[in-house]
Every structure is written in structure tokens, then in C-alpha cells.
Amino acid sequence: MNTLTDLKTYDAATFAATALSSAAHLAATLDHTLLKPEATRNQVLQLCAEAAEHRFACAMVNPFWVSTAVAALAGTGVSVGVVIGFPLGASLSASKRDETVRVLKQGAHDVDVVLNVGLLKSGTAEDFEHVQQDIRGVVELAHGSGAIVKVILETCLLSFEEKHRASELCLAAGADFLKTSTGFSTGGATVDDIALLRTHAGTRAGVKASGGIRSLADAKAMLEAGANRIGASASVRILSELAGIVPTSSAPSGY
Ligand SMILES: O=C[C@H](O)COP(=O)(O)O
């Protein structure tokens, strides 16, 4: 697992080389994701079975499916991740907190919350403070339960200045990861955006690339640009591409 503590010595080139050195290492950087509205119980169970088999960082689902995923992954050591305020980010702050409380009770460990994009773009000091509070409310609940928070900026909707502003607000709110995209808007992760987010996160926080990452080449580009977590619905395919090139080794530890 790539824990936050490991970030103290984080270096993109070293992290990417280690992550790409075996299927087991790469799996530990991947959030295996199924967020389509039409996903069925059987598909969620299949996601969990694949997450357990390959030992992905987590299985990422919508809130309704958290209890199903927690039950399916019990005893496997694989975490359940969940999205909050998804995919628009414009829910009431109280609703985001309420969703968070409920999924934490059900056993979610990774909480990926969408930033209030429209409020950020509204642009006053008061709006920025409100954006930060919106995130902080979720962070405080998650950290109180030993969970982590990744904030989805939806970078495809933001200007260069807004990406900088959003990154600083999220870090000030205590976010554990800056994350690019929901996968449901006008674009996904880009190498330039990952580099920008890493500039802000440094060794203070993680950076998660998500949205449109379909191949090993995509994953490699994101890791080399500064991502230390990748969210993808194509994780099994990405992993099998690597397994075809590099033999699977023993499970990774402490990077
Ligand atoms: O957070 C993760 C994204 O929703 C995954 O998007 P994707 O289906 O393009 O891999």
C-alpha cells in the first residue's frame, strides 16, 4: 500500500519505477472503480472479487453499494472507497457530511468527495472560505474514523488559476489527496494537471489521477507526472498489460 507516511520521501521517478516494477506493486496504486449509475449488485460483487484477487488499493463504489462491498471484501485487507457529492459537487455541505457519516458507519475507508466547482468559480473570498469549509466538514468526519479523503477538483472545468486556488483550499482543509476528475464531465486526467497538483501537494498529500485512464501507457504517464494513486474502471486491463511484460512478484511493502 502507498500510505501517506510514505510520502515523506516521495519522489515521482522513484515511485513510478517501483509501481511499474511488478503487477503487485502497480495494483497497490490502483483504485478499482465502478461508478456507473446502471451498475448492478452482481457487477459490484465482481468489482470486489477482482479487487481482492489483484489486491488493488481499494474498490471504489457509489454510496448505496458500500455495505455490499464491505461485506464482500471482509477479511481480504482490501479497503472500500466511496464517492461523496458525486458527480457534481453541488450538494449541500450538510448532505455531504451526512453521506460521509453514513458510509463511514458502514465501513468505507477512502472517501472521494467532489469540490463545489461552481462556488469556487464564483470567486469571492467568502466563496473560497465556503469551499474550504465544505471539504473540511468531510475531512473532519473521515479522519475521526481513521478514513482518508481525496478531493475531486474536476480539473477539466477549471482555469489554470482555479486549479491552483482549488489545490490550496483542499490542502488547507486537510485533504489527503488531490484528485483530478469524476470521469463524468467533459474530460479526465492529463499529465499537465497531475504535474500541477503535485506542485501543490509536494510531500504533504497524495495526487490521484482519474478519468479516462485506460491503458498501461496512460497509467505510466500519470505516475511519472506525479500521481501516486490512479482511479480507473479499466484497472484489470491496465494490470494485465503489465503482467504481460513484467512477471508478477511478491506483494509490495512500504512504498
Ligand atoms: O474516479 C474515477 C473515475 O470515475 C473513473 O473514470 P473511468 O471510468 O474513466 O476510469
Q: Is 206 in the pocket of ligand 1 (CB under 6 A)?
A: no
Domain span holding position 134: 13-20+80-243
Task: Identify whether 169 is part of a domain.
Answer: yes
Three-state SS string over the chain comes to CCCCHHHHHCCHHHHHHHHCCCHHHHHCCEEEECCCCCCCHHHHHHHHHHHHHHCCCEEEECHHHHHHHHHHHCCCCCEEEEEECCCCCCCCHHHHHHHHHHHHHCCCCEEEEECCHHHHHHCCHHHHHHHHHHHHHHHHHHHHCCCEEEEECCHHHCCHHHHHHHHHHHHHCCCCEEECCCCCCCCCCCHHHHHHHHHHHCCCCEEEEECCCCCHHHHHHHHHHCCCEEEECCHHHHHHHHHCCCCCCCCCCCC
Q: Is 231 in the pocket of ligand 1 (CB under 6 A)?
A: yes
Give yes or no for a contact between 171 and 138, defined as CB atoms under 8 angstroms apart: no
Instruction: Give residue 246's pLDDT.
Output: 57
Active site annotation includes 31: no
In this structure, the residue with its CA closest to atom 8 of ligand 1 is: 233
The Å distance, Cα 31 to ligand 1 centre, comes to 9
Per-residue pLDDT of the chain (255 residues; tens, 9 = 90+): 444 556 888 999 999 999 999 999 999 999 999 999 999 999 999 999 999 999 999 999 999 999 999 999 999 999 999 999 999 999 999 999 999 999 999 999 999 999 999 999 999 999 999 999 999 999 999 999 999 999 999 999 999 999 999 999 999 999 999 999 999 999 999 999 999 999 999 999 999 999 999 999 999 999 999 999 999 999 999 999 998 865 444 444 332
The Å distance, Cα 150 to ligand 1 centre, comes to 14
Active site annotation includes 208: yes
Distance CA 103, CA 109 (A): 9
Instruction: Give residue 2's pLDDT.
Output: 47
Q: Is 185 in the pocket of ligand 1 (CB under 6 A)?
A: no
- From 96, 150, 163, 208, active-site residue: 208
Q: Is 213 in the pocket of ligand 1 (CB under 6 A)?
A: yes
Q: What is the ipTM of this complex?
A: 0.96
Active site annotation includes 105: no
Instruction: Give residue 244's pLDDT.
Output: 83
Looking at the structure of the chain, the number of domains it has is 1
Distance CA 70, CA 61 (A): 10
Task: Identify whether 253 is part of a domain.
Answer: no
Task: Identify whether 85 is part of a domain.
Answer: yes
The Å distance, Cα 46 to ligand 1 centre, comes to 17
Task: Identify whether 105 is part of a domain.
Answer: yes
Task: Identify whether 148 is part of a domain.
Answer: yes
Task: Identify whether 215 is part of a domain.
Answer: yes
The Å distance, Cα 212 to ligand 1 centre, comes to 6
Instruction: Give residue 9's pLDDT.
Output: 87
Burial 181-216 (b: 16+ CB within 10 A, else e): bbbbbeebbbeebbbbbbebbeeebbbbbbbbbeeb
Task: Identify whether 193 is part of a domain.
Answer: yes
CATH number for position 158: 3.20.20.70
Atom of ligand 1 nearest to the CA of 188: 9
Task: Identify whether 50 is part of a domain.
Answer: no
Give yes or no for a contact between 34 and 63, defined as CB atoms under 8 angstroms apart: no
